[in-house]
């Protein structure tokens, strides 16, 4: 959520900044609601002064000739009228405040100044490439054909069990999928200083509001039926970031580093995908991800984004998968993000780079919604933290990249060297072994 003080200071400037995200902020509506709230507060203060003055009038009325009962009755009548008006103003102010909250909850974060202009992903700017795409001396298959030929990837059975956009993996591919998760968790905990956490796969609405999925993106979520309002998590970002909801972190704890990594399944309805990537494992309703989450001081968040993105890149480099890093333009930037780097892995089956990780700095946007704070030892007062997260990596898409980049002419699949130790020394997966 945006800082309402910043919005009040210059609503037009906020509207201008949000236009980079192609979001039309209704500054006039905000100013009108805020004027109602302000006027109600002013009128309430005036009435409180009148109430204080009225309560002192009994003596004056008695001096003017009224008996004590008549004086009390007249003052009580005046006080009752003031109280009724105060209640009406209190309700008016509450309604205005609620409307302001509802308005701001639907407003995205302001983009950082360095975020480039642009409407969609075609305007994202490449900042680096790593690795050289492999030259194949045979016809390249996509991951679906490679996996089905091996016998380890089955979409038909998954559709029978559940429906479209699900997959069944068997044997060596299932083992490789598990090995990737272990590699990622081991790397981030042993080399990058993250603490591994295990979290619920269901969350309440408050948690989703805290990270920005609600109220705007409810259609993208799977909501459970039952007495409690639970949702399946769309990403581990939600439960992990909410670890510090309604919390004040002491500076000493923050100095130790609040870095968390977490493996979870993720569940997304893909309501806005409009039929994109219906083939294979690129865009599914259920997939696995290893998430990276950091909480930092405001002045540290820019550097933290660079570091966190590097941690995700390290996995791609260990797997020797060619990729590129792009900074998202305003029109492609997520609702809660102020700046985002996407890592896009090379998929020879598509002859294209495709997103495999999205690493974002949210500034204090999520922290304000969650009241996630740290205590500044210089002032002794709580201040908002900055939050960051990124995929380190999306496991299914990493498997897709291996299937396409490590396929062999005889239909086998070479196992990346860094995974062989996790797979009992297996160096290749052969058709018919499943």
291 is in an annotated binding site: yes
Token digits of residue 101: 């909250």
- Angle (CA) 296 302 308, round 5°: 75
The one catalytic residue among 175, 259, 369, 397: 397
CA–CA gap between residue 208 and residue 431 (Å, rounded) = 43
CA atoms within 13 A on the CB side of 135: 0
391 in a known ligand binding site = yes
372 is in an annotated binding site: no
170 is catalytic: no
Task: Report the distance separating Cα 139 and Cα 126, nearest Å.
Answer: 29
Does 357 count as an annotated binding residue?
Answer: yes
Of the residues 209, 268, 368, 369, only one is catalytic, namely 268
The Cα–Cα gap between 271 and 284 comes to: 11
Annotated active-site residue in 121, 300, 355, 383: 355
Whether 358 has a binding-site annotation, put simply, is yes
Q: Supply the DSSP symbol for 407.
A: B
Is 404 annotated in a binding site? The answer is no
Catalytic residue flag (residue 358): yes
Question: Which residue is catalytic, options 178, 283, 297, 324?
Answer: 283
- 355 annotated ligand-binding residue: yes
Task: Give me the residues paired with residue 391 across strands.
Answer: 291
Residue 78 marked ligand-binding: no
Whether 378 is catalytic: no
Q: How far is it between the farthest Cα atoms of the chain?
A: 112
Q: Please name which of 67, 124, 263, 107 lies closest in space to residue 183, comparing C-alpha atoms.
A: 263
* 233 assigned to a ligand binding site: no
Q: Which residues contact 43 (CB under 8 A, 6 or more apart)?
A: 85, 89
Whole-angstrom distance, CA of residue 245 vs CA of residue 379 = 22
- Is 113 assigned a ligand-binding role in the annotation? no
355 assigned to active site: yes
* 269 annotated ligand-binding residue: yes
How far, CA to CA in Å, does 275 sit from each of 165, 279, 283, 376, 413? 11, 10, 10, 49, 29
- Listed in sequence order, the residues at least 6 apart from 220 whose beta carbon sits closer than 8 Å to its beta carbon are 213, 234, 268, 269, 270, 271, 272
Q: State yes or no: 270 annotated in a binding site.
A: yes
State both tokens at 36: 């109602």
Among residues 358, 360, 369, 373, which one is catalytic? 358
Active site residue 190: no
Q: Which residues are annotated as a binding site for L-serine?
A: 235-237, 291, 391
Q: Which residues are annotated as a binding site?
A: 235-237, 268-270, 291, 355-358, 391
Q: Which residues are annotated as a binding site for ATP?
A: 268-270, 355-358
Active site residues: 268, 283, 355, 358, 397
């Amino acid at each position: 959520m945006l800082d309402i003080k910043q919005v009040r200071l210059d609503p037009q400037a906020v509207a201008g900044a949000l236009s980079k995200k192609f979001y039309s902020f209704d500054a006039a509506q905000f100013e009108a609601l805020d004027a109602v709230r302000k006027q109600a507060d002013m009128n309430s203060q005036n009435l409180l002064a009148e109430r204080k003055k009225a309560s002192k009038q009994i003596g004056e009325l008695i001096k003017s000739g009224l008996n004590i009962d008549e004086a009390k009755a007249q003052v009580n009548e005046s006080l009752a009228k003031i109280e009724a008006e105060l209640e009406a103003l209190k309700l008016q102010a509450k309604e205005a405040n609620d409307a302001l909250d509802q308005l701001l909850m639907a407003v995205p974060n302001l983009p950082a100044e360095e975020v480039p202009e642009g409407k969609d992903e075609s305007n994202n700017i490449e900042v680096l490439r790593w690795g050289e795409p492999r030259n194949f001396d045979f016809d390249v298959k996509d991951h679906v054909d490679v996996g089905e030929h091996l016998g380890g990837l089955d979409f038909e059975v998954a559709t029978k069990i559940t429906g479209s956009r699900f997959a069944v993996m068997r044997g060596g591919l299932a083992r490789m999928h598990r090995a990737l998760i272990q590699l990622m968790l081991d790397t981030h905990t042993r080399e990058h200083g993250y603490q591994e956490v295990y979290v619920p796969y269901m969350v309440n609405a408050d948690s989703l509001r805290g990270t920005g999925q609600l109220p705007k993106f409810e259609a993208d979520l799977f909501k459970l039926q039952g007495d409690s309002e639970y949702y399946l998590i769309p990403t581990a970002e939600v439960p992990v970031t909410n670890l510090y909801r309604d919390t004040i972190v002491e500076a000493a704890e923050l100095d130790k580093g609040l870095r968390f990594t977490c493996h979870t399944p993720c569940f997304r309805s893909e309501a806005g995908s409009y039929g994109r990537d219906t083939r294979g494992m690129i865009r599914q309703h259920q997939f696995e991800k290893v998430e990276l989450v950091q909480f930092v001081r405001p002045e540290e968040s820019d550097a933290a984004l660079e570091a966190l993105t590097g941690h995700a890149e390290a996995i791609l480099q260990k797997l020797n998968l060619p990729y590129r890093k792009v900074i998202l333009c305003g029109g492609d930037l997520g609702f809660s993000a102020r700046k985002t780097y996407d890592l896009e892995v090379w998929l020879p089956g598509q002859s294209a780079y495709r997103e495999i990780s999205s690493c974002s700095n949210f500034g204090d946007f999520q922290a304000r919604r969650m009241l996630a704070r740290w205590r500044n030892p210089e002032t002794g007062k709580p201040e908002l933290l900055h939050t960051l997260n990124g995929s380190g990596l999306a496991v299914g898409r990493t498997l897709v990249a291996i299937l396409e980049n490590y396929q062999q002419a005889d239909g086998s699949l070479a196992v990346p060297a860094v995974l062989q130790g996790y797979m009992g020394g297996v160096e290749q997966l052969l058709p018919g072994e499943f």
